[in-house]
Amino acid sequence: MSLNTPADSPALFNLLPDGPDFSMEQTAKWKALWPVAGCDEAGRGPLAGPVVAAAVILDPDRIPEGLNDSKKLSARKREKLFELIMADAIVSVASSGPALIDRINILAASLDAMRRAVCSLPVAPALVLTDGRDRPPGIACKADPVIKGDGRSLSIAAASIVAKVTRDRMMTLAATFYPAYGFDAHAGYGTARHLRALSEAGPCPLHRRSFRPVRELQYGEKDSKHATTEP
């Protein structure tokens, strides 16, 4: 038996939003939790460079079209949206460098950058929506973690774009100081080109020495004394 769906009766999955929306923020506003900031980070996985966090409070009347998880956007689209976000939203950015990452681990360093980004907003949010499972410690207001939040909340998506573009620009600049590694091409991720350069030139001050490929280069694969948790 076949099932025919009339043109004016779309299937349920066709009614679901495709990409992030503003529903979480609107619900918070109805609960008198306003303004709402989205917060996300970029750069947990690379072998070099900082982890960068952004906090964004969008103007509901001036939300740029096309906001989405930064990983789903082309570099050109991210750059365009970055400029629109910076022009019309309230934005704060913070970062944790390699030394802090090595000292307290990448998760703690990421959450600390998120905390500083939120606390540096010129307008204090009543609610922070964060991407992932963790609440950054030390935030005075209510904070709700949102699994895969950069694909569900427009505020988190905006923060993901700001964090990604900011970090990419930082790594492009880093390439002018440390040209041997090609940071402008891979932003510090463990590509074959990066690993080859790391093996040939050794680590530079931007490398995270607690991350396995860098650690093994310094101490050898079997040196458990310097073992740390993988990112």
Per-residue pLDDT tens digits for 69-128:
999 999 999 999 999 999 999 999 999 999 999 999 999 999 999 999 999 999 999 999
Q: What band does 218 get if pLDDT is binned at 50, 70 and 90?
A: confident
* Cis omega (within 30 of 0) for bond into 35: yes
Question: DSSP letter at 38?
Answer: E
Q: What is the pLDDT of residues 157-169, one digit of tens each?
A: 999 999 999 999 9
The pLDDT tens digits for 125-139 are 999 999 999 999 999
Model confidence, pTM: 0.88
Query: Per-residue pLDDT averaged across 138-157, rounded?
Result: 97
- Please enumerate in sequence order all residues whose Cβ is within 8 A of that of 118, keeping only pairs 6 or more positions apart, or say none: 37, 39, 55, 92, 125, 128, 136, 139, 143
**Nearest CA to 95 among 180, 179, 22, 188?**
188
Instruction: Pick 220 or 76 by higher pLDDT.
Output: 76
- pLDDT of the residue at 14: 54
Does residue 12 surpass a pLDDT of 80? no
Q: pLDDT grade, residue 4 (50/70/90)?
A: low
